[in-house]
Amino acid sequence: KGPGYVTAQDIILPPSVEIVDNTQHIAILREAIDLHIEFLVERKRGYCLKPPINFPKGAYWIDSPCMPVIQANHNVYSCGNQKKEFCAKILYTHQ
């Protein structure tokens, strides 16, 4: 809940998952709002160059074994009112 900085240490995880670097910056909340982000982590074999057919709209798919993220950028845009914003993320991989 904002305002404040959000880092990886703020992520609530099950006991079977560990954060490698809990100092990683995620967001800055400038107002007293709740931030909800969902992560889906699966263990699979091989690789896939396309997201699954039933992949949720608006989600970001990363196949980590063959596409490690090299650089990430983001921009925040107003949606035309004071209460909503759109965050565009650009992920650079070696593919």
pLDDT band at 42 (very low <50, low <70, confident <90, very high): low
Query: Across residues 60-73, what is the average pLDDT?
Result: 69
| Token pair recorded at residue 68 | 């490690």
pLDDT at 73: 86
Residue 49's region, left for phi above 0, alpha for psi from -120 to 50, else beta, is alpha
pTM of the model: 0.49
